[in-house]
């Protein structure tokens, strides 16, 4: 089941932290004051979640299968939205990207190591190569402009 991430108590944080730790994804970190931080405890997890604009989770029964976050950061006085994902498989990543794109309409970027297995899922969902920096690759996806209209205007 795909849904927004909801953390209600300490047990929820512990389960989330355990899932993130078990995935061992070297690309799952956050930046704060130009320093890279990996999520190693509940304090760093809470700091990371505070920096996120939105988060979605894929669960089967009560077990986490994947997480996707959009972190808002400021680089050179410009605001950017960076996607962070951790998941069991490419299929789950594709599902999470789809739900993210339905619910978050901004320009997005994602950094990956050039040998990350999740890279192809992002390319299939419309993320394009921007540049390479050392062993990392930057992908981006421009927001698609559309008008959401949930009601009919009386003038029409």
In this structure, what is the dihedral angle of CA atoms 44, 123, 107, 64, given to the nearest 10 degrees?
-30
Give the separation between CA 137 and CA 67, rounded to whole angstroms: 21
- Range 120-146 burial, b when 16+ CB lie within 10 A, else e: ebbeebebeeeeeeeeebbbbbeeeee
The pLDDT, as a whole number, for residue 147 is 58
27-66 pLDDT, tens digit each:
888 877 778 888 889 998 998 898 888 999 999 988 899 9
pTM of the model: 0.85
The whole-angstrom separation of Cα 46 and Cα 39 is: 9
pLDDT (tens digit per residue) in 105-137: 899 999 988 888 888 899 999 999 999 998 999
pLDDT confidence tier of residue 26, bands split at 50, 70 and 90: confident
What is the average per-residue pLDDT within 147-153? Answer: 50
For the chain, list the domains and their CATH numbers: 2-108 (3.40.630)
């Amino acid at each position: 089941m795909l849904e927004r991430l909801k953390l209600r108590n300490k047990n929820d944080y512990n389960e989330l932290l355990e899932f993130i730790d078990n995935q061992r994804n070297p690309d799952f970190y956050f930046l704060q004051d130009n320093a890279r931080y990996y999520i190693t405890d509940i304090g760093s997890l809470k700091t990371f979640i505070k920096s996120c604009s939105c988060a979605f989770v894929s669960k089967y029964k009560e077990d986490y299968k994947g997480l996707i976050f959009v972190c808002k950061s400021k680089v050179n006085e410009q605001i950017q939205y960076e996607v962070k994902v951790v998941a069991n498989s490419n299929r789950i990543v594709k599902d999470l990207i789809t739900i993210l794109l339905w619910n978050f309409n901004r320009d997005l970027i994602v950094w990956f190591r050039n040998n990350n297995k999740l890279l192809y899922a992002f390319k299939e969902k419309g993320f394009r190569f921007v540049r390479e920096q050392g062993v990392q690759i930057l992908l981006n996806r421009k927001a698609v402009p559309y008008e959401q209209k949930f009601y009919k205007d009386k003038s029409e």
